[in-house]
């Protein structure tokens, strides 16, 4: 959401068309099947990392590197050239990018709400972002 407040977006003709609240399922993804103990680092958005931190430290290593990036999509681009790194992202991302789902991340049974915005040009309203 912070990005939407940048001047180039505030002064554009883009609008928020819809807001969605979802409970996404997150997965530990890699390019190939690798043992959890070989994973050196995990990339993801800060909220996905926060949700996954306890699981990662318990099931991979107490010293696992958790690296925050701008989005779960960016985390996937970060693992493409690194053999023992993983991303935390959705099942849909795994399919789209042809990644291996190593494990579903479950954070103590809690459901986490994630907000998404559908953004575009909407001629019917003048609600600027």
Give the pLDDT confidence of 65-114 residue by residue, as tens digits. Answer: 999 999 988 999 999 888 899 999 999 999 999 999 999 987 655 566 77
Q: Which sequence spans correspond to the domains of the chain? A: 2-120
CATH superfamily, domain 2-120, is Periplasmic binding protein-like II (3.40.190.10)
pTM attached to this predicted model: 0.74
SS3 22: strand
pLDDT greater at residue 124 or residue 68: 68
The answer to whether the beta carbons of residues 36 and 103 sit under 8 Å apart is: yes
Of 85, 107, 81, 74, which Cα lies nearest the Cα of 29? 85
């Amino acid at each position: 959401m912070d990005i939407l407040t940048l001047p180039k977006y505030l002064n554009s003709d883009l609008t928020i068309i819809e807001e969605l609240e979802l409970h996404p399922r997150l997965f530990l993804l890699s390019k190939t099947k690798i043992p959890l103990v070989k994973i050196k680092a995990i990339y993801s958005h800060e909220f996905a990392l926060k949700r996954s931190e306890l699981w990662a430290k318990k099931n991979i290593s107490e010293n696992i590197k958790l690296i925050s990036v701008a989005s779960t999509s960016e985390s996937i681009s970060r693992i493409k050239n690194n053999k023992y790194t993983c991303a935390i992202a959705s099942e849909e991302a795994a399919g789209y990018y042809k990644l291996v789902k190593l494990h579903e991340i479950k954070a103590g049974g809690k459901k986490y709400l994630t907000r998404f915005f559908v953004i575009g040009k909407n001629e019917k309203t003048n609600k600027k972002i």
